[in-house]
A and B are shown apart, each in its own frame.
Chain A
Amino acid sequence: MSQSVPSREVARRVFAREFNDAGYTFKESEDERAPVYLLLPTGERANRVFLVGTLTEKEDVGEDSEYWRGRIVDPTGTFFVYAGQYQPEAASALRDLEPPAYVAIVGKPRTFETDDGQINVSVRPESITTVDAATRDRWVVETAERTLDRVAAFDEEGNEYARMARERYDLSVDAYKQGAIEALQSLEETDELAAEA
């Protein structure tokens, strides 16, 4: 009975630097409605992501209708989030939010090829909510852990998506391990500052 229910896609945890380095998307079946996956450079497929960061800017970049772009910053870089008329809740959340604010976003990765052939990766949000600093810190630690898990499994035999990442990207996974370490250190530093204050 539960077998017949299509399973919901897991929301991957990935830092902005790695997310923006990804550009390759693929499907695993011919079906028109089959999920589209973004291939993460550390060797995982992502049809959905969960991220928490600081909304630093928002802008209505739409021409005819509202189309909101938000910049969400994490310790490694910036996520770009776009929400328009087909994401009414997320669009209205972005309209109402006043940066800077900690926000949690569940969404789908989207890729877009620019005129000069560069591939931009962004998030199409399913939900945007404001959260507190503790939630944001927990996300940083969790995302570091998940990233390190992927890096550790990268050379394992039978790791299909790692093999795919090697074929598609000319990237070293060590940089993402380093990024995770720096993200964790940034938390420690703020803790120390808070302790001194």
Chain B
Amino acid sequence: MTALRTHAEEIAEQFSDHLDVDADEVEERLDNLVNEYKVPVEEARRSVVNSYLDEAGLERDAIRGGGGGQAAKVADIDEDEQWVDITAKVVDLWEPRSDSISQVGLLGDESGTIKFVSFKTSELPELDEGSVYRLENVVTDEYQGRYSVKLNRTTTITELDEDIEVGDNAVTVEGALVDIQSGSGLIKRCPEEGCTRVLQNGRCSEHGSVEGEFDLRIKGVLDDGNEVREVIFNREMTEELTGVTLEEAKQRAMDALDTTIVADEMRETTLGRYYSVTGPTLGRYVLANEFEQLNGPTNAEEVLIKARSM
């Protein structure tokens, strides 16, 4: 099937409730614009849809998708201003920071999570945390490279009687460990309930001077020669990576009367090695859930074949 035919059938489908159009007719009109008048396909599609809207006396919002509502997985959303349908669970609801917002939170499906916003003016029913909904006709939005979806007046919300195992947006990154940043090694965290901030000179930025609790972590940089990724190893992962437990680290720091010795020793045993790290992303960090040192034999033959074919 040609691309034009696909577009034509989608458009015919969109208007099936309102007009007596068939795909052949739509295709002919698209074909005329695209092949005779050299109009780009997207623009041609827009133009044809608009003329049918006029014919049917409808607003653009009235037809599903307004130009192609596509079923989407949240992790696949990577374009601004797309009309999509998603089936997702309300993972989290946050406090709206603006009076115009009715609800803001996190939606999740098998592929991962995405932020959603619902505005008061849309007069939509409220979503319940933990419930699964089919949301038809939501619009994607982008801010500084991060995507979200906006519910709007034309969105239809159907609560589904099912559960979804929400994915964690896990990624795998590979490269040489080229740096272990400050704030790594043996650190102290604020003991206040629910705080866990890392102390700077014995002070928590929220709770002031406190008796901290020791912890281990590594903030590292993986570099593959093309890009850098920052990774965080928690205590368990740090112990596995370095072979040094929290108790041993405390002992060494005590013997040396210096906590920085722990990070220094970690640098010696990990920097310059290649690792593969898998885990969810948080901002610019990848939180290591598992890792592997890449020290197996390499396949030089494959690269040689490529080189010789150049």
Report A's interface with B, CB cutoff 8 A: 1-3, 5, 7-13, 48, 50, 52, 89, 103-106, 126-127, 129, 131-132, 134-135, 137-146, 148, 151-152, 177, 180-181, 184-185, 187-188, 191
* A144: nearest chain-B partner, CB-CB: B303
B267 touches A135 (CB 8 A): no
List, sorted by A's number, 19 A–B pairs whose CB atoms are closer than 8 Å. A1-B283, A3-B144, A11-B225, A11-B228, A48-B178, A52-B272, A104-B272, A106-B179, A129-B267, A134-B295, A135-B272, A139-B176, A140-B300, A142-B224, A143-B225, A144-B300, A144-B307, A184-B307, A187-B298
B284 on the A face (CB < 8 A) = yes
A152 contacts across to B, CB distance below 8 A? 310
- Among B273, B301, B307, which residue has its beta carbon within 8 angstroms of that of A131? B273
B286-310 vs A: 1/0 string, CB under 8 Å? Answer: 0000000011111111011011101
Taking the closest CB of chain A, its distance from the CB of B310, in whole angstroms, is 6
Query: Residue B48 at the A interface, CB < 8 A?
Result: no
- Contact status B304-A184, CB under 8 Å: yes
In the complex formed, the residue of B with least CB distance to A194 is B297
| Interchain CB contact (< 8 A) of A11 among B176, B268, B269, B296 | B176
Instruction: Select the residue from B144, B271, B303, B308 with max chain A CB neighbours within 10 A.
Output: B303
CB distance from B1 to the nearest CB of A (A): 34
Contact of A141 among B272, B273, B300 (CB under 8 A): B300
Query: B297 contacts A50, CB within 8 Å?
Result: no
A2-B284 contact, Cβ under 8 Å, with A10-B227, A11-B223, A145-B303: yes
Q: Which residues from A are CB-within-8-Å of B221?
A: 8
Given contacts A129-B271, A146-B225, contact A106 B178 (CB under 8 A): yes
Question: Which of B144, B294, B307 meets A138, CB within 8 Å?
Answer: B294
A2→B144 contact, CB < 8 A? yes
A145 surroundings in chain B (CB, below 8 A): 303, 306
In the complex, the chain A residue whose C-beta lies closest to that of B181 is: A8
Q: Cβ of B297 and Cβ of A135 under 8 Å apart?
A: no
Nearest-CB distance from A1 to chain B (Å)?
A: 7
**Chain B: minimal CB distance from A63 (Å):** 28
Answer yes or no: B119 CB below 8 A from chain A CBs.
no
B274, B299, B300, B308: the one within 8 Å of A135 (CB): B274
Interface residues of B in 130-161 (CB under 8 A from A): 144-145
Q: Give the residues in chain B near A89, CB-CB below 8 Å.
A: 264, 267
Closest 4 CB pairs of A and B: A104-B272, A13-B225, A134-B295, A129-B272
The answer on a CB contact under 8 Å between B225 and A138 is no
Taking CB atoms, residues of chain A closer than 8 Å to B226 are 10, 146
When the two chains form their complex, are residues B295 and A126 in contact, meaning their CB atoms are under 8 A apart? no
